[in-house]
Amino acid sequence: MSEIIVQNGLFHLRNGRMSYFFRLTGDGLPAHVYWGERLERLDSPLDRLFFESRESDYCHNTLELEKLPQEYPTWGHGDLRRGALEVTAADGSTAVDLCCEGYSITAEKPTLAGLPATFDREGGSRTLSVAYADAVTGLRVTLLYTVFDDCDVIARSARVENAGPRAVSLERVMSASVDLIDDRWELITLSGAWARERMIDRRPLKPGFQGVDSARGASSAQNNPFMALVRPGTDEFRGEAYGFALMYSGNFTALAEVGMYRMTRAQIGLNDAHFRWLLEPGETFTAPEALLAWSNTGLNGMSAQYHTLVRRHVVRGRYAQAQRPFLLNNWEATTFNFDEEKILQIARRGREAGLEMFVLDDGWFGHRDDDHSSLGDWTVNLKKLPHGMNGLADRIHWMGLKFGLWFEPEMVSPDSELYRAHPDWCLHQPDRTRTEGRWQLTLDMSRADVCEYVENAVAAILDSAAIDYVKWDMNRDMSPVGSALLPPERQAETAHRYMLGLYSVLEHLTARFPNVLFESCASGGNRFDLGMMYYMPQAWCSDNTDAGSRVLIQYGTSLVFPQSTMGAHVSHAPNWQTGRMSPLRTRVDVAMWGTFGYEMDLAELDADQLAETRADIAWVKAHRDLLLYGDSIRLLSPFEGDTAAWMVVAPDRSAAVVTAVRLLAHANERRERLRLAGLAPETRYRVEELDVVLTGQELMRFGLPLRFAPGDDQSLRFTLVAEQGGDSCQ
């Protein structure tokens, strides 16, 4: 049960496992006290003993504020570290000094104006709002904290109101800041690039600034809006881990600053590079929500908290807890080169194999026969689809399949009717070359007229035919960033206003079409973040569909995101991105750790492979509830060796599926055993592939033998089913 207790200036948020608390100093500053395993005593003198000496220093010398672990520090008034809030007042001054004015506690999880935010529909959370004010500028800052019953996560945000008489420029507004009292941490981030997203990087903290960010207009494939601080020695199952994730899809910063007193300041929020927000009197600015997770059972423990949060408090709508249809996408089979009959042939083969939905990818609109034209012209190309979108959708549905469609609504091609009519609708700066990427420009979603056009254009297609699924793509970063409608003093607001416009469009479309399954895509995983998950319950992990590459991509992704959010498909071999020839079984075993589907022309399979594919699809269907919504546990990291392994366990521990992939074979290898986790120790499990019954304890202590076939990219799959009675082994 979550609760918030306030006593003598001490704010204590806790649930059944975790405590988080801070206190007010004598000057009304919020000082961080503790975050970790639940503490029972509320009137402990420990925080007073710790702060007495520090607060005494602070009271005698304002610059000693740098020694105080703060909860939401400001810059320019004694603390020389980077502030969570930095401003420039109308007179050019930059100092801010916040003092607490009051607080409130509610059982309702608040929404955030114009932004995605976690929710709680079951009454299983408590929210603390603490109000602060700066007497000179008139700024009022409200810090929001939510603690949940069912996951060890604190949701934090900040709201800044200008209650003064003159405009103020916000230069930096962090969503969360936590001062930790030492620097004995290692930093984990998810970094990479297109086709190798969310690679796990781990390094010790050093004095100064370290972390990740994005100034690309999207949360990016280069760096995910997440970081974790872990104690040295923390692994998947042991040790403390503190996660910081941002529920936002644009420019962000996640950093750890180790100061001269060896304290660590962890912050996450909007990237202050190229950002400035002019806050007029009476206006309010709301920062995106940060999700802070804690675990004392290693990285798997931290991930379990995030997975619960995403499933119960982030993903909304019909598909939040529902099965996702197994789909077949035509892109790798046809690219732009298709007509209606070819599409129908591919769909028939998918239906015969047991798939449930066909998705038509890029090339169905305007005169788009390659990627040089037509983005923005969302009208059906009747040369390719003579019966229109409705005619194709009807034929697909007649086969017994659902029908999905690809869009890239945020982009415009210079060769398009839309661009010729509205050349000022793209992001650009005056007298500068309009930089193209993939022969396209980015529409200015900070403009209401552009948002209205995008929303209406997508809605018109969805209204015209029975469409069950939308793949929402975004294939380039933003550069240059500028808006024709914003005045010079507000140009630095463009990137954030873009995201607010996009979120508004997505909110309207998902509400208008509640039965459509939306999937986020941005050149693969360029926008794989909690902000998009609020509108779309799944995202395409990467354009790289190579099984060996996907093991690393999906393993890293699972640090924060459950498998029900990860778009993962079986694709052609040799693979387009790597040229690797992975076995079909391995491609299936990796893809079933996500929202299962196919990205290939099934006509390329021989009779044996097609029979294997039918059997694979039937097997995944039989275990789909477990695979999609079971508890995901990482066992062996591909970032630490040549073998990766993970398992998905039923919440009641009655069944599990275990997958192991050997990425690189070696001669004369030793025999390996894989120890499992998360099982009921006394329960007997039949391991179907080995025809043996073992207790959960035996499986977790001794493990299963890993006997791979010769060659690279070989996989093993084990299915565990709990049995009643019987000997412990046979």
Q: Is 546 assigned a catalytic role? A: no
- Tell me, what DSSP letter sits at residue 109? P
Percentages helix, strand, coil for the chain, rounded to the nearest 5?
A: 25, 35, 45
Q: Tell me the H-state helices in 312-360.
A: 331-334, 340-353
Beta strands in 585-683 (DSSP E): 595-599, 631-636, 643-649, 655-662, 672-674
Selecting among 150, 183, 473, 477, the annotated active-site residue is 473
In order of 112, 219, 539, 581, the CA distances from 536 in angstroms are 18, 15, 7, 32
Decide: 275 and 496 in contact? Cβ < 8 Å: yes
Residue 697: burial class (beta carbons within 10 Å; 0-12, 13-18, 19+): middle
- Sole residue written with tokens 């040549």: 642
Helix axes 340-353, 607-622, angle to 10 degrees: 60
- Only one residue has tokens 């015969």, namely 352
Q: Is 543 part of the annotated catalytic residue set? A: yes
Task: Spot the catalytic one: 134, 179, 543, 546.
Answer: 543
On whether the CB atoms of residues 710 and 667 are closer than 8 A, the answer is: no
> Judging by beta carbons within 10 Å of its beta carbon (0-12, 13-18, 19+), is residue 129 exposed, middle or buried?
middle
CA distance 421 to 443: 13
C-beta of residue 536 within 8 angstroms of C-beta of residue 518: yes
Q: Angle between the 448-464 and 388-398 helix axes, to the nearest 10 degrees?
A: 50
Q: How far apart are CA 599 and CA 550, in angstroms?
A: 14
Burial of 628 (0-12, 13-18, 19+ CB in 10 A): buried
What are the distances in angstroms from CA 449 to CA 411, 415, 446, 455?
15, 21, 9, 10
Between the CA of residue 44 and those of 12, 37, 47, 136, what are the distances in Å? 12, 15, 7, 36
Buried b (16+ CB within 10 A) or exposed e, 112-121: beebbbbbbe
CA distances from 227 to 118, 252, 448, 612, 625 (A): 19, 12, 34, 41, 30
- Residues assigned a catalytic role: 473, 543
